A and B are shown apart, each in its own frame.
Chain A
Amino acid sequence: MKNGIAIFIAAIVALGASWCGLVLAPSLQLGPARLTTVLNSTDTYPLQRTGEASLGLQVYRANGCAACHTEQVRQDGIAVEVMLTSLGTSKAEDFKAFVQSLFILPELAPVTNTIADSLQAWNGDLPKIFLVTGDKAIADEMVQRVNAAGVKSQLRIAPSGPDLARGWGTRRSVAADFLYDQPVQLGSLRAGPDLANIGIRQPDANWQMLHLYAPKSVVPNSTMPSFKYLFAVRKMAGAAPSPDALALSGEFAPPAGFEVVPTAAARELAAYLLSLNANVPLYEAPFTPVTSAKP
């Protein structure tokens, strides 16, 4: 067969194409990425880790935490809610009648039933969410129409999905969340829970230390191995334990007269875990923070 060269060239083209597509193109597209701005704010995102937290990422890497933990929250979609915050001068019955009159608009046809249902038993309590939809255009239209009639309503965006329902985050993880991570530790197996927002879920450094030293002392059915080698068991200097000693009790406590103190690596790892939070709204992953939704 004389087509040996042709086949060799075909292999080069095949690998070269995937190299251009999956190595070169992402590097060109994402490599120059800079700080992004938090939605409806002038704050920049993400913050660069400093001090112990940035060293802690290396402890996380060295001990292979990513073998069991992901740092990536997924979402299935978004639910857009239209929330009525003020009726202005009109009454609840007027509002109902007004909304009824909008039902003839063809673009609202898919949601007329849900709106009618949610307003049926409403007695005028505020704030009132009267429309939940996956279609942002319809919600925008509704807010515009209603606000033009003199009442106040606002749009709220709530991402949805099992990861979010577990409280692992408020929105999906996006590229911007990992801008400063060296190396990025996405993980591929959830033998343990996701850690993308562990700094918000467990903001207590002492809890993190206890959990690293003896996971079962704070999570009784945990399957995490302990990381005792990140701690030192030493004799108490005086009658009272030193300030940074872990408050262990029962079967987890060290022998009398001894105390468990974290090493630098343990403190760094805990600081890194506390720095893990990816919960600001971004252009590519919008949501409405709960605080601003209060009337």
Chain B
Amino acid sequence: MNPNENKSSASGSSEVDASLRVPLLALFGGAAVWLVVGLVLGLIAGIKFHAPEFLSACPLLTYGRVAPAANDAVLYGFCIPAGLGVMLWVLARLSRMPLVLPMVPVVAANLWNLGVLIGTGGILIGESTGQPWLEYPRAAAVILFAAFLLIAVSAAGTFGWRRERSLYPSHWFLFAALLWFPWIYATANLLLNTVWLPRGVVQPVIGWWFANNLIFVWLALVGIGSAFYFLPKISGRPLVSSGYALFAFLSLVFFGAWCGIPASAPVPAWLPTASVFAALLTIVPIVAIAIITVKTVWGARVSCQGGPFCFIKLGVLCFVVSGLMYVAAACPQASRVLEFTWFGVAQTQLQLLGFFAMIVFGAAYEILPKIMGAQLPFPKLAKLHFFATLLGVLLFIIPLALAGVAQGRALANPAIAFADASHAGLMFLRVSTTGQLLILVGALCFALNIFVMTMKWKLALLKSLVAAVKAPLPEAPAPGDSEVKA
């Protein structure tokens, strides 16, 4: 078992942290902006369910464009780049190796933001591909793919030249994630985002495979991989245990990768059957991850008070709940009622905003002070962020899931008119919009902290540059200047 780098000398880890400062600011900064954009778009989409005529005259903001643009901005704009940032830091720390080619992820982060911008704009002007979770038009997809590969090069280089040779469970999860994304993203885009689409229902089958492997498996690999690094680190207890973690990892990749085809899909019956079977087996890794987490953090004498520890523990809890919702909705009996309802939306949003975002927030609050060598500018806002997000997720997800159950039960009874069945969920949706608003407030706190932190650092950099220029003898560069590749 890897001793982590608890013993590592202060100078070694500060060298590692300094190498990550610019790449992580670029990745986290862009991610925070896209999170706010995604949540605002999501709020616009949500309001349309209370007032259908809200902004309906504007073709850019019609529900069918705003809703996928919001989902993709949160997934591609926030989750993936922020997850990659956390991944780079964990890999560099575990390797006790400063980031290799630190400017490559900076370029990649900017490319990535350009890709998301083109993609979001593309959806809003009606250039979506029409494939769920793969709406971004071709140009955006190519840019995102290239940016991912650049970051993967830097991550793999850091790993290859690592000074700490032994592997830690997080390595498996994060490396599988590095393999996963290019494979699924390339497959899905080459097949679904070109001029010659495959025939008929082959398209949705590939789409389901892709969406499941991205939203369920990839996010789980990065999120849980990071949690398995931070939870032992913060609680000061070893991960319990490496063997369990290996079991969870293998069962997650082998079973999880087969989920995603709905039980009632109009495709040959063996496909949904395989998926339902895999979904039932996916209970195994979910339970294993829950057990590992509980055993690792139980009784830890760390008060979290809305800090990183709270975020990450809550994130794992949301992962377990969302995973169990996913399995439940895949069972044929439940699927009859829950398919095509808000329940599926609730599960996906819990996966994105409850599980993954929480882990990324916690990790970012843990990482940022270390790489910047300074405290958060607004620690109170970080605490507010936690409680706003906690309450927001509860108010967003629970009513949405209940709306799904109510809607599904009403739709299963043909005696209830369709309009009445839809109206049954409206009250729930109203509450869930409040939840979205709270999550947005939290995201603004997050973005403000990062923004002010970046600004302060840039100002300090500018001052030291000015000082260096004014100084009569340019022999000693000002401290804190080393990262400018001087």
Interface residues of chain A, those whose CB is within 8 Å of chain B, are 1, 3-4, 7-8, 10-12, 14-15, 17-19, 21-23, 26-27, 29-33, 61-68, 70, 72, 74, 76, 162, 165-166, 172-193, 215, 219, 221-229
Verify if B413 is at the interface (C-beta below 8 Å from A). Answer: yes
CA distance A64 to B208 in the complex (A): 18
Verify if B204 is at the interface (C-beta below 8 Å from A). Answer: yes
Known A61-B128, A188-B132, A222-B419; judge A14-B257 contact (CB<8 A).
Answer: yes
26 sampled A-B residue pairs with Cβ under 8 A: A4-B171, A19-B183, A21-B258, A22-B209, A22-B260, A22-B274, A26-B205, A26-B271, A27-B191, A30-B205, A31-B198, A64-B62, A64-B68, A64-B123, A66-B64, A68-B63, A172-B266, A175-B267, A178-B200, A179-B199, A189-B344, A223-B52, A223-B419, A225-B48, A225-B54, A226-B53
CA distance A218 to B90 in the complex (A): 58
Question: Distance (Å) between the CB of B169 and the closest chain A CB?
Answer: 9
Known A184-B203, A185-B130; judge A10-B209 contact (CB<8 A).
Answer: no
Q: In the complex, what residues of A have CB within 8 A of residue B54's CB?
A: 225
Q: In the complex, what residues of B have CB within 8 A of residue A8's CB?
A: 175-176, 179
CA distance A67 to B253 in the complex (A): 29
CA distance A123 to B423 in the complex (A): 46
Q: In the complex, what residues of A have CB within 8 A of residue B275's CB?
A: 22
Question: Distance (Å) between the CB of A47 and the closest chain B CB?
Answer: 14
Extra contacts, 11 of them, besides A8-B179, A67-B68 (Cβ < 8 A), are A1-B167, A7-B172, A8-B175, A22-B260, A30-B268, A32-B199, A33-B199, A72-B264, A175-B268, A179-B199, A184-B203
Q: Which of B266, B274, B342, B411 contacts A162 (CB 8 A)?
A: B411
Verify if B261 is at the interface (C-beta below 8 Å from A). Answer: yes
- Most central of A14, A33, A180 by chain B CB within 10 Å: A14
Known A19-B183, A61-B128; judge A175-B201 contact (CB<8 A).
Answer: yes
CA distance A76 to B260 in the complex (A): 21
CA distance A87 to B197 in the complex (A): 55
Q: In the complex, what residues of A have CB within 8 A of residue B206's CB?
A: 22-23, 26-27
Q: B62 contacts A225, CB within 8 Å?
A: yes
Q: A174 contacts B199, CB within 8 Å?
A: no
Q: B267 contacts A10, CB within 8 Å?
A: no
Verify if B248 is at the interface (C-beta below 8 Å from A). Answer: no
Known A22-B260, A67-B64; judge A229-B59 contact (CB<8 A).
Answer: yes
Q: B418 contacts A166, CB within 8 Å?
A: yes
- Give the contact-size bracket for chain B: 35 or more
Q: B202 contacts A26, CB within 8 Å?
A: yes
Q: B213 contacts A72, CB within 8 Å?
A: no
CA distance A22 to B264 in the complex (A): 16
CA distance A284 to B257 in the complex (A): 29
Q: In the complex, what residues of B have CB within 8 A of residue A30's CB?
A: 198-202, 205, 267-268
Known A22-B209, A65-B64, A179-B200; judge A189-B266 contact (CB<8 A).
Answer: no
